[in-house]
Amino acid sequence: MTTHLKIDEPDHRNRLDHMAQGTLGAPLDRPEGPLKVTGTATYADEWPVEGLCHGVLVRASTDKGRVTAVGREAVEALPGVLAVVTDERFLRNPAQGMAGAAPAQGPDRIAYFGQPVALVVAETFEQARHGAETLQIAFDRSDDAVLDLESDRAAVDVPPGKQASQGDLDRAMREAVHAVDVTYRTPGHVSAAMEPHAAIATWDDGLLTLRGSYQMLRFNRLELADSLNIEPDRVRILSPYVGGGFGSKLGISPEAVAAAIAAERLGRPVSVALTRPQVFEGTTHRSETRQRIRLAADAEGRLVGIGHEALVGNLPGEVFAEPVTQATPFVYRGEHRVVGLSVARLDRTCAGSVRAPGEAVGHTALESAMDELAVATGLDPVELRRRNIPEEDPSSGLPFSSHTMRRCLDHGAEAFGWHRRKAEPGSVRDGEWLIGMGMASAVRVNMVVEARARVRLTADGRAEVETDMTDIGTGTYAILTQIASEMLGLPMDRVETRLGDTDLPSGSGSGGSFGASSTGTAVYLACEALRRDLCARLACEEEDLTLKDGMAIAGDRRVALTDLLGGQTLTEEGHVEAGETSKKVRQATYGAYFAEVAVNAVTGETRVRRMHGTFTAGRILNAKTARSQCLGAMVFGIGMALTEELLFDPRHGHIVNHDFAEYHLPVNADVPQIEVDLLEERDAWANPMQAKGIGELGICGAGAAILNAVYNACGVRVRDLPATPDKILPGLP
């Protein structure tokens, strides 16, 4: 049976607080941990497949134009080379998140430098790599490529749905006691998941099995089938372990389609793994942004107006536009408002989702501007934010489902020791280092997307959870196991969770911080149905049933689950959909960051010395994995603030720093011990579990805390991220 829930109303029953097993929320180890630490978890390009041959993609070495010739014969004559494969179905662009349909195809038309155009397949990887390096491709280059976000020649779209205004912001700015009107710029970023995109394609009787590394399998299956012009029921995708995604694996990428086509043509399984430069060039990156931020405040520092107008870029025809202003409509008070988003059409690598599209860069810039307002008003930055927490969504008038920013600000300030901060920039010194403290708020929208999961309570008193949901490092195996364990009163080792297989019920997929709350709710619903099934056998009400350690307890009866099941296995499916709640309340997650940095007075180098984050996200499903998510996201913030920056060649649009030697992720030595405090919250509007997303919250503003600390340390305000020494040195005291 399937239990369906469309979330139209809050669920105040809060049933999980009445369960007895005590596993949900606990800081438990990931059940798949022993596999990961021993190298025995199987990632995409690691399946032992008989007769496997290897494909290496060849990329375009021009920015915009056409392929005029492929030197196929010379390469096909090389030892071991089986074929040089080109096909009009090859992807031109990677698929966007939740596309569910083929992205732009047709590799002969070159849309950007680095676009894959051909695949060389050989018996061994070494032969394929040599063939790919040897393959000569001739191009006709167009001379009208637009490669700069702020180019006068760029066509700029102004999507009507992305513009909003109320009141009269211009007047509010003129009449404001304190006004800030600043422009921030953020560079392109990459997800840089450690596992490169890879796929092994196998055909069997017209059915395609693709072992790949993707985040949202139910959409990926539709994207792959549509790209190949076959029915979705002929495609199975397996992704039980995904070596990170951070948005770059939301949709399928060129390797999936190329591997499938080559495998069909050769009648043999084919593996295609992108090289690291190909991951940079052939999958999505976060667009660079230009953001004009206007803040108008009264004498007490209360905002009367906010303007947030952003310019982002993407390829012509791509619908995705980095939603920079996503949280601005509701994060702070102010009756006069302008929010706008424009998209410059660029002939460069496809832009798409990178962890927390929107708030990651948008709230970071807004929180830097808020720090400028704090300076202008002379208010403590924490107090400025306290004064501007709105009572209701100031744009829509909707109430908040729950609002925890004030609690997070107060808790974080106390835990970090914010009172020790000196407001005057450059006033604390430690040898040749200038020391400063900065803070920022965190905010991220919360959502639920459709998800299904199946839970089987087996005759031997165990449970199996099944969904095509993925675990990209987020902790899905742990939390789904915990939900079933808690609801069914079973120890963790008697619950097994199977993920990442499109033959299983369709979960939400991993993206937008909605995975845990969406797919988790589907598991919850299935378990609730199983509890009702057990109640029917015990002739009791569901509220009167206690399940713990494999025992069912109702009134004065205590029965072993195995006896109650009497040799039968019970199976239930949960199915959740978003409903009307977004029309009734504004849902979001909140937090606060505090950072202490040291800026070298001689070199301008910035080191993060301490960092603290306080967050809320409704019910925390696993205190250990939730903390790790926040911690990792804050490190993304360190990278955004100090080192990460895609550099595009202005002549050809290629990514100059397309590897880890030149695109600087934070390394271990760049990261101090980071404190993460998770505060208790329940949000009945979110879902019956009262849990909200947490995977992205920790990046939404984290970089601003560091940039604001840099200002406090040395008086240099960096509005063009990242804050590399060259930008700090000229302004040092």
Partner 1 sequence: MRTELTVNGTVHVLEADPRTSLLDALRHHLGLTGSKKGCDHGQCGACTVIVDGRRINSCLTLACMHDGEAITTIEGLGTPVAMAPLQAAFVDRDAYQCGYCTPGQICSATAMLDEVAAGWPSHVTDDLEAAPDLSDAEISERMSGNLCRCSAYPNIVAAIRDAAEGTR
DSSP letter at 152 equals T
Cβ-contact 118, 255 below 8 angstroms: no
Asked whether position 479 contacts partner 1 by CB under 8 A, the answer is no
Question: Where does this chain touch partner 1 (CB under 8 A) — which range of 98-106, 122-130, 365-373, 453-461?
Answer: 122-130
Cβ-based nearer residue to partner 1, 41 or 535: 41
Question: Residue 722, preceding bond cis, omega within 30 degrees?
Answer: yes
Cβ-based nearer residue to partner 1, 544 or 662: 662
Q: What is the rounded distance in angstroms from the CA atom of residue 560 to the CA atom of residue 534? A: 11
Give the angle 339-345-349 at the CA atoms, nearest 5°: 115
Question: Where does this chain touch partner 1 (CB under 8 A) — which range of 94-102, 251-259, 344-352, 631-639?
Answer: 631-639
Asked whether position 573 contacts partner 1 by CB under 8 A, the answer is no
Question: Where does this chain touch partner 1 (CB under 8 A) — which range of 376-384, 570-578, 665-673, 723-731?
Answer: 665-673
Choose which of 625, 643, 687, 690 interacts with partner 1 (CB under 8 A).
625
Strands 137-141 and 545-548: unpaired
Choose which of 313, 334, 613, 666 interacts with partner 1 (CB under 8 A).
666
Choose which of 636, 648, 685, 711 interacts with partner 1 (CB under 8 A).
636
Cβ-based nearer residue to partner 1, 189 or 444: 189
Q: What is the rounded distance in angstroms from the CA atom of residue 139 to the CA atom of residue 60? A: 8
Number of residues this chain uses to bind partner 1 (CB under 8 A): 66
Choose which of 11, 26, 36, 168 interacts with partner 1 (CB under 8 A).
36
Asked whether position 656 contacts partner 1 by CB under 8 A, the answer is no
Choose which of 194, 207, 319, 459 interacts with partner 1 (CB under 8 A).
194
Choose which of 38, 430, 539, 583 interacts with partner 1 (CB under 8 A).
38
Question: Where does this chain touch partner 1 (CB under 8 A) — which range of 106-114, 133-141, 319-327, 470-478?
Answer: 470-478
| Shortest Å distance, C-beta 236 to partner 1 | 21
Half-sphere exposure of 199 (CA within 13 A, CB side): 24
704: three-class secondary structure by DSSP: helix
Question: Where does this chain touch partner 1 (CB under 8 A) — which range of 164-172, 420-428, 513-521, 660-668?
Answer: 660-668
Question: Taken in order 146, 151, 155, 158, is the CA torsion positive or negative?
Answer: positive
Asked whether position 46 contacts partner 1 by CB under 8 A, the answer is yes
Binders of partner 1 among residues 238 to 277 (CB under 8 A) are 241-246, 273, 275-276
Question: Taken in order 463, 464, 467, 472, is the CA torsion positive or negative?
Answer: positive
Length of the chain: 733
Q: Which residue type occupies 668?
A: N
CB 492: neighbour CB atoms within 10 A?
18
Choose which of 35, 535, 553, 559 interacts with partner 1 (CB under 8 A).
35
Question: Taken in order 619, 625, 627, 629, is the CA torsion positive or negative?
Answer: negative
Q: What is the rounded distance in angstroms from the CA atom of residue 484 to the CA atom of residue 666? A: 36
HEC assignment per residue over 413-469 = HHHHCHHHCCCCCCCCEECCEEEEEEEEEEEEECCCCCEEEEEEECCCCCEEEECCC
Choose which of 91, 311, 620, 635 interacts with partner 1 (CB under 8 A).
635
Choose which of 1, 13, 14, 34 interacts with partner 1 (CB under 8 A).
34
| Shortest Å distance, C-beta 44 to partner 1 | 10
Asked whether position 673 contacts partner 1 by CB under 8 A, the answer is yes
Radius of gyration, alpha carbons of the chain: 26
| Shortest Å distance, C-beta 610 to partner 1 | 11
Binders of partner 1 among residues 133 to 192 (CB under 8 A) are 191-192
Cβ-based nearer residue to partner 1, 195 or 255: 195
Cβ-based nearer residue to partner 1, 46 or 157: 46
Asked whether position 51 contacts partner 1 by CB under 8 A, the answer is no
Question: Where does this chain touch partner 1 (CB under 8 A) — which range of 97-105, 149-157, 380-388, 653-661?
Answer: 653-661
Choose which of 14, 68, 124, 568 interacts with partner 1 (CB under 8 A).
124
State the DSSP H helix or E strand holding residue 608, giving kind and residue range, or none if neither: strand 606-616
Instruction: Please identify every residue annotated as catalytic.
Output: 696
Tokens of 597: 């940095």
Tokens of 567: 């040799």
Strands 336-345 and 303-314: parallel
223: three-class secondary structure by DSSP: helix
Question: Taken in order 692, 694, 700, 701, is the CA torsion positive or negative?
Answer: positive
Closest CA to 251 of 515, 511, 467, 453: 511
Contacts to partner 1 by CB under 8 A:
29-30, 32-43, 45-46, 48, 124-127, 129-130, 191-196, 241-246, 273, 275-276, 472-475, 624-625, 627-629, 631-636, 659-661, 665-674
